[in-house]
Amino acid sequence: MGVRRIDLYTGYQNLVERDERARLRELIRRRARREPVAYILGEKEFFSLSFRVSPAVLIPRPETEHVVEACLDLLRAAGGGSVHRLLDLGTGSGNIAVAVAVHESACAVDAVDISEDALEVARENARRHAVADRVRFLRGDLFEPLVPPSRVYRIIACNPPYVRPGEMSSLMDDVRLHEPRLALLDSKSAAGDGLGFYRELAERSCSFLTGGGAVVVEVGTGQAEAVRSIFRSGGLGDCRTIRDYGGTERVVVAARG
């Protein structure tokens, strides 16, 4: 009907017209096919900001807000006086990049994604929240568009695909049938253990980090210990873990010495 919730109460005497009922039935049919509500509405709230979403991008989740919080804490601890750079790998809807840029004005962000369709959504979200002048979008696979390293970053943030191939069938239909497999399924692990992207991050991040810079990643349930070990083997130290709202180890932070 295109109205606010309060308008349903103040305009209770209004009738729902035939075309409005038809639109509602179509929305219900889509939901009955397990299409996520966020895709139906085209919107999802994340970090108290409204983001446009489409089937080209993973729907932002509350757990990923801990990645943003960790990035903001690190940026503020680094102090003022200069613009700090953040690299967001696999940006998707741009939720991490845009949320950090909105809440930390002394930050410039490079956001990378392999999908041009996802980058179109992310660019729109950057414009929506008036940070398009501080977020640069690049197409490529992880560090690919930044090779050879022409700049270094205070933070590298990433919410990579970490679902193992054998886990796909166990995911909710909303996720398995509708969200992009490219953003869900770990395609970099020959062992099929869901840790392939973390290995590449561990191997290559130090070349793109300032001294004292850090990697901030989201991890799947039960993966935190393995990811910490991978990062330490790659030369990243001072590893710590942040638990999500349900108490699960969800974010790993590792610093370059």
> What tokens appear for 100 in the block?
């950090």
229, part of any domain: yes
Q: Is the dihedral of CA 239, 244, 246, 250 positive or negative?
A: negative
pLDDT at 158: 98
CATH code for the domain in which residue 106 is found: 3.40.50.150
146, part of any domain: yes
3 state DSSP class of 45: strand
79 pLDDT above the threshold of 90: no
149, part of any domain: yes
211, part of any domain: yes
- The residues facing 217 across adjacent strands are 158, 252
State how far the Cα of 223 lies from the Cα of 219, in Å rounded to an integer.
6
Mean pLDDT value of segment 117-137: 98
80 pLDDT above the threshold of 80: no
69, part of any domain: yes
pLDDT at 233: 94
Mean pLDDT value of segment 134-139: 98
Give how far Cα 74 sits from Cα of 18, 84, 97, 103, 253, Å: 54, 10, 14, 13, 10
121, part of any domain: yes
Among 180, 183, 185, 208, CA closest to 195: 185
Confidence of residue 190 (pLDDT cuts 50, 70, 90): confident
Contact 35, 178 (CB under 8 A): yes
Per the model's pLDDT, the better-predicted residue between 178 and 151 turns out to be: 178
State how far the Cα of 39 lies from the Cα of 232, in Å rounded to an integer.
38
pLDDT at 218: 98
94 pLDDT above the threshold of 90: yes
Radius of gyration of the chain (CA): 20
Query: What domain range is 134 assigned to?
Result: 55-256
pLDDT at 116: 98
State how far the Cα of 224 lies from the Cα of 233, in Å rounded to an integer.
14
Total tally of structural domains belonging to the chain: 1
Mean pLDDT value of segment 12-22: 93
81 pLDDT above the threshold of 80: no
39, part of any domain: no
pLDDT at 2: 84
Read off the pTM.
0.93
Tens digit of each residue's pLDDT (9 = 90 or more) over 219-247: 999 999 999 999 999 999 899 999 999 99
Confidence of residue 207 (pLDDT cuts 50, 70, 90): very high
Tens digit of each residue's pLDDT (9 = 90 or more) over 151-168: 899 999 999 999 998 899
CB within 8 A of 246, min separation 6: which ones?
none
Cα-based angle 96, 190, 157 (whole degrees, multiple of 5): 15
Average pLDDT along the chain: 95
114, part of any domain: yes
Tens digit of each residue's pLDDT (9 = 90 or more) over 37-62: 999 999 999 999 999 999 999 999 99
